Chain A
Amino acid sequence: MTETSVQVEDPNAPTMAVALKIWRYDAQTGEKELREYEVDAPEWACLLDVLDLIKDKVDGSLAYRKSCRMMICGSCGMRMDGRAVLACKERMKPIVDAGHVPVISAMGNLPIVKDLVVDMDPFWGKVRAVKPWLDPGYDEAEEKERIVSQQDMNVIHKEALCIMCGCCVSECNSMESDPDFLGPAALAKGFRFVGDPRERGQIERLNTLNQEHGIWDCTRCYFCNERCPKGVDPRDAIAKLGAESIKEGIDHDMGAKHAKWFVTSAKTTGWLRETELVPKTQGVVSAIKEAKFALKLLRHGKVPPPVPPHVAEDVHEARGLYELVREQGRDGALGIVQGERALARLDQEKGLEE
C-alpha cells in the first residue's frame, strides 16, 4: 500500500487580493463607520470566507453570524452593495476580477446589534403571529402516517425550502413603510400551513392573514422573490394566499376587491375599466372623493371615457380563459403552483436543449 496522501488544503492554490468596505456599527456608542479591508484569499473564497480572514487576521472584533456555510442554516444574511445575500453563497472571484470593492452592511428592516448582526426578534415575532405550526384537527394521532399524495404535498414545496434567513424581510419595501406588515417570510410560512393538505385551520388562518398588515399590504415589488437565496419566492406565496382567500369568499379587504374587479372587468369587456375600479375597490364614498382626480385624468386622455362601454374585440379569449380555470378547478393556490411547475419544466427543457 502506498503512502496516504490526504490533501487537506493545497498550499499552492491560487489566491487573490480581496478588498471590502464594511459598515461597522457599535450599538454601545451608536457610532457607524465605513471601513475598508484587504486580505489575500483563495480564489474559491466566498464572502463568508473573506469575512473570516478579516476577523482572524485583521480585526477580531468584527461581528457577523455564520454556521453551516452551505446555504441551509440561514445565519449569514447580510447586504452586499445594498442587496441582501447569504455570505456563504456569494463567490468573490468575479467581483475581484471586475475590480470592484463591494460594500457590506447589515440586513435592512431589522435593528442592528453590532456590525453585520441584526436583532432577529421582530422577525420571529411576525413568524409567531401566523401560528406557525400545523393544526391537524385532532389531538390523538392515528397509529400510522396520513395518506397524502406527492402532488398535494408539492403545493407547499417552495415554502418548505425557507431557511428563515431574513433576506426577503431585509428587502421588503412594504415593511419599510409599515413596520407592522407581516412581511414575506412570515406570510410564506403562513402559506406553508394554508397549503398543507393535512391542515384543518385554513379558514381561520386566511381570515387572520387578510387583516390589516396582512397579505393585501404587499406592494408587489417582487424584491423578496428576487433576493431570496433559496428560491422560495415569498411574493408568489402571498399571491397563493390571496387566491385561496378569494376562493373561500374572504374578500372584505380592498386588496381582494381590487383583484376581483380586475377579473370581472377582464371577463366582461376584456379590458380594465379604471373608472369603475375605485368604487368597486374602495366604495362609493371614496370614489366621489376621487372624482375630481378622475376627471382630470380624463381631460388629459390618461383614461378612456367610461361611456359607451367599450368591449375588446377578442374578449372571448379572456372569457375562455376564465371558464377554463373555473371548469378545471384551478382557482386558488393549486392553479398557481401548477403554473409554476409547468414553467419550471419548460425552463429545464430549454436548459437541456442549450
Chain B
Amino acid sequence: MEATHDVLVVGAGCAGMRAAIEAFDQGADVALLSKIHPVRSHSGAAEGGINAALGNASEDDPEQHAYDTVKGSDYLGDQDAIQVLCDEAPDDVYQLEHWGAVFSRTEDGRIAQRPFGAAGAPRTAYAADITGHVLVHVLYEQVMKRDIFTYEEYFAWKLVIDDDRCQGVIAWDLLNGGLKTIGAKTVILTTGGAGRLYTGTTNAYACTGDGMAMALRVGVPLEDMEMMQFHPTTLAPSGVLITEGCRGEGAYLLNSEDDRFLKRYAPNAMELASRDVISRAEQTEIDEGRGVNGNVLLDLRHLGAEKIHERLHGTRELSMVFAGIDPIHDPIPVRPGAHYHMGGVATDLDGLTSITGLYAAGECACVSVHGANRLGGNALMETITFGKRSGAAAAEWALTHTTVAVPPSIEAGAERELGALLGRSDGERPWAIRDELASTMHENFGVFRREEQMQEQGRIIERLQERYERVVVEDKGDVFNNDLTQALELGFLLELAECMVVAGLARRESRGAHARPYDYPERDDANFLRHTLTSLSPSERVRLDWKPVTVTKWQPEERTY
C-alpha cells in the first residue's frame, strides 16, 4: 500500500477540489487523485455560469431558485436536496469571489448575473463565457495554497471495500506504470460525467464515467441513469459546446425558413425555455425537414460586435476554429448533443453512498437536484455546494475513525485481472467497440427514444461486451500507457450504457430528458414519480429498483414554458 489518508478525493474538477479544500480546512489529511492534472478537468469547459440567488440583477431569492429547479427537473428532483443547494448557493459563490474568482461585474461592481434557461430571474453569475475555467483555476490556486497532495495522472480503477467500508483506491500510475493502492478512511468520487458514451458530445475525452462505474462494481446503486441531457447548442461534427449564455444574452434560434421556431414549442420563454424542451424542438424541426444540414441556426448577429467581444469572446473563438463561422457576421449551425448526466451515484444530502466511507459529488453523483432535466448554471453550483458538503462529511467521519486496512487479496486480485488484460496479444483493439457504442447510443438512446430502439441497443451493448471480454491492449509498456487506461475506460462505459438502457426501458413515460413520443408521450406521476436505481447483481446482471422522490412543498404541475 502506498499511503494512507483521512480523505482521498478521486477526480479533481470543481467538485473534487472543493471537497478537498473543505476536508483540509476541517483538519483532515486529504489527497486528490486524478487521471489528468486538476486544471485539465472538464469543469473548466463549463462556459455560461453558476446559479445563485444573489439578487444582483433583479429581485431574487433561494425559494424562487428552488421552484425553478424543481419545475426544470420535471418534478423528479428531490426537493430537500434542491432546497439545500439553493439556500447554500449564495454564500458558496461569495466564497469563490473572496478566493479570487474573476467574475464579470455589474455597473455597481457586484457579481454580474445573466438570464438563463427556465430561470425566473437573471440568476446565473458568470465570468464572460469561461466561468468553469475561472472556477477550476481559482480552486486549484486554493489547492496549491493549502499544498494538498495530488496523485497526478493516476487512473483510479477499483475501490477497495473491506469490512463493509470503503478503504481506498487501486489506481494505475500513468507516468511510471504499475498499480498503486492508496488507502483512505474515506473516498469521495468526483469523476464527472460519461458523455463519451455518445459520438456527438460536449464532453472531454476524459468523461468516461469512471467513478459511477467503480461504485456500480462494488454494489452501489446508480440513480436515474436514463437521464442524459442533450444540450441544444453544440457544434457539428464533434459536439463542441456553444454556451447557453448566448441565448441568455439574447441570441435567436432559427430554422431553415428563418423562423424563430420556439414560438411553437415554448411561446413564453422562447430561446430561454429549458434544455430538454429546446433540444426536442430542434430535433423535431430537423426531423420534419426544416433543419440546415442536420442543424438549426443560432443567430447572435443582432447582439452586436461589442457585446460578442466582451461577453462571448470564447464562443466566437470556438465558432471560428471549429465551424469556420464568425458569429458577428453569420449564424452558428448547432444541434443537440449529449452534455450532462443527471443520473449518477445515489447519495444522501452529504454525498454519502450506500457504503460507509464512500461519498460522491458533482456530475458523478445523483443527490438528486437535477431530476429529469438540469437547468443551465446549476451544475457548477452543485459541484461547489455538494463538493463542500461531502468534503466536510467525509472529514468528520475520518477524524473520528482510525484504521485503514487493505487485504493483500484485493491487491493481488487486481494485479491478476490487469495481468490477464495485458497478457492478451491476439484479437481486437478497443477503438471499434468504443466507436460503435457511441454511435449506436446516439442513434438509439438520444433525444427521442423508442421501445424497440432501446431494446436493440440493449442487445448491441451485450454483443459489444462480449467483444470487450477479448479485447487487446497493444501498448505493453509502463510509461504513459494510456492505451491501457483507454481500454479500462471502455469497460466502464459499457456497464453504464447497460444501466441506462435498463432504466430507460423501465420508465414508461416521458419526463424531462427521457422523451418517448411514440409510445408514452405523457408524464405519468401516478406510476413514475420515482427514481430508477440500477445496480449489478450476479443473477440478473443489471438489477432495477425504484426509490420515491422527496416532495416537500411543490406538488407536480403541468410543465410549460
Contacts and interface: CB of A to CB of B under 8 A. Distances in A.
Interface of A: 1-10, 13, 26-28, 42, 44, 55-57, 59-61, 63, 65-75, 89, 91, 113-115, 117, 119-120, 127-128, 132-134, 136, 141, 143-150, 153, 156, 160-161, 163-164, 193, 196, 198, 344, 348, 352
Contacts of A144: 94, 110
Contacts of B103: 145
A26 B93 CA distance: 46
Nearest to B453: A4
A164 B39 contact: yes
A7 B294 contact: yes
Interface residues of B, number: 83
B495 to A, nearest CB: 22
B100 A133 contact: yes
A110 B150 CA distance: 20
Contact of B204 (A27, A69, A132, A147): A69
Contacts of A89: 321
The 5 tightest CB contacts between A and B, nearest first, are A60-B474, A134-B100, A147-B109, A7-B294, A56-B431
Contact of B40 (A13, A75, A145): A75
A27 B305 contact: no
Contacts of B305: 348, 352
Contacts of A3: 287
Contacts of B321: 71, 89, 91
Contacts of B112: 150
A6 B110 contact: no
A143 B110 CA distance: 13
Contact of A74 (B39, B134, B429): B39
6 contacts: A1-B284, A61-B481, A63-B479, A89-B321, A145-B54, A163-B133
Interface of B: 36-37, 39-42, 44-45, 54, 93-95, 97-100, 102-105, 108-112, 127, 130, 132-134, 137, 141-142, 144-145, 175, 199-200, 204-206, 236-238, 240-241, 283-284, 286-289, 294, 305-306, 309, 314, 317-318, 321-322, 328, 335, 429, 431, 439, 442-443, 446-448, 473-475, 477-483, 517-518
Contacts of A74: 39-40
B94 A196 contact: no
A8 B199 contact: yes
Given A113-B175, A145-B111, A72 B44 contact: yes
Contact of B237 (A9, A127, A147): A9
A114 B482 CA distance: 11
A146 B98 contact: yes
Contacts of A115: 480
B94 A133 contact: no
A136 B479 contact: no
Given A10-B237, A144-B94, A153-B102, A60 B42 contact: no
A89 B287 CA distance: 32
A9 B99 CA distance: 43
A126 B311 CA distance: 31
Nearest to A162: B137
Given A4-B448, A69-B240, A71-B321, 5 more contacts: A5-B286, A6-B442, A60-B475, A147-B110, A348-B306
A73 B43 CA distance: 9
A55 B483 contact: yes
